[in-house]
């Protein structure tokens, strides 16, 4: 029987819920690769242009709609707190602060957290993120003191055991978070 020619318009994706076990992250810690709380949905050509290719592991395709919800919730919280504390940073342009918040919030939402919160602290934005048994703290310092780049402090814990700390520029901090938590590509746009 002759082989059936492949349809040129069909792109093969893993099925919904496929667990890619080729590259378990933090294998040495005995962690298992999971779909926490929600199944990764293949936003493939079903619905058009917001396609995501699920190849690459659990975190390759965080649900874009959940991420948008969390992003909106963070921004609302930020604006509310900024409104309550107009002197949060003397002389700072609220528009610039808002755009800076978007960058750091957006970067850590790539981790598809189960829970995330935001708190304005002294001249910084403090994020607390929970994903599975990992808790991540990110302090985005909004006032640069050295080279004009935003700075950040991160601390990653699992079950109250400290796993990783870092202090440096925001983009570098985000890269470290990515390397630690997300075994795949992640963009870090720097605030221009």
Partner 1 sequence: MSLPSKITPDNIKEAIVEVRYDSNTTFEVLIGIFFQAFDDSWFYTTRPYQSKASPLPTVRQNVSQEVTLRIGSESLFYNGKINIRVLPGSFVFSCLNEYIGWAAYRPEIEKALRIVSSTGVIANWSRVGLRYISEYPGKDLKDCLKFSFSFGMPEIASETMAFRSEFNYKEVKVILNLSSRVPVAIQPAPGAPINIIPTSITDIDVIRDGLRTNKVEDLLNIIENCHESEKELYFGMIEEKFLTTLKPEY
How crowded is residue 68: how many other Cβ atoms within 10 Å of its Cβ?
11
| Relative orientation angle of helices 170-181 and 94-109, to the nearest 10 degrees | 20
Between CA 109 and CA 72 the distance in angstroms is 11
Stretch that binds partner 1, among 39-47, 84-92, 117-125, 142-150 (CB under 8 A): 39-47
Q: Which x/- pattern, by CB under 8 A, does the window 57-86 give for partner 1? A: x--xx-xxx-xxx-xx--x-----------
Q: In the complex with partner 1, which residue's Cβ is closer, 69 or 122?
A: 69
- Cβ neighbours of residue 86 closer than 8 Å, sequence gap 6 or more: none
Footprint of partner 1 on 120-139 (CB under 8 A): 130, 132-133, 135
Q: What are phi and psi of 161, to 5 degrees?
A: -105, 125
* Minimum distance from residue 121 beta carbon to partner 1 (Å): 22
* Minimum distance from residue 62 beta carbon to partner 1 (Å): 9
Q: In the complex with partner 1, which residue's Cβ is closer, 60 or 97?
A: 60
Given a contact cutoff of 8 angstroms between Cβ atoms, the answer to whether 110 and 62 are in contact is yes
DSSP 99: H
Closest alpha carbon to 124 in 157, 151, 85: 151
* Minimum distance from residue 122 beta carbon to partner 1 (Å): 25
Considering the rule CB under 8 A, would residue 17 count as an interface residue with partner 1? yes
* Minimum distance from residue 155 beta carbon to partner 1 (Å): 16
Q: Which x/- pattern, by CB under 8 A, does the window 102-121 give for partner 1? A: xx--x---x---x-------
């Amino acid at each position: 029987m002759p082989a059936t020619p492949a349809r040129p318009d069909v792109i093969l994706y893993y099925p919904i819920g496929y667990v890619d076990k080729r590259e378990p992250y933090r294998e040495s810690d005995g962690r298992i690769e999971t779909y926490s709380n929600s199944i990764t949905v293949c936003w493939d050509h079903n619905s058009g242009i917001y396609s995501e290719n699920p190849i690459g592991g659990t975190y390759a395709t965080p649900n874009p709609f959940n991420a948008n919800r969390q992003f909106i919730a963070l921004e609302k919280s930020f604006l509310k707190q900024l409104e309550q504390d107009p002197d949060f940073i003397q002389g700072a342009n609220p528009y610039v602060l808002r755009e800076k918040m978007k960058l750091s919030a957006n970067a850590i939402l790539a981790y598809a957290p189960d829970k995330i919160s935001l708190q304005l602290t002294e001249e910084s934005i403090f994020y607390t993120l929970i994903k599975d048994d990992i808790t991540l703290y990110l302090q985005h310092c909004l006032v640069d003191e050295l080279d004009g780049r935003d700075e950040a402090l991160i601390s990653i814990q699992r079950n109250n055991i400290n796993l990783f700390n870092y202090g440096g520029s925001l983009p570098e901090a985000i890269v470290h978070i990515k390397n630690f938590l997300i075994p795949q590509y992640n963009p870090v746009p720097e605030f221009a």
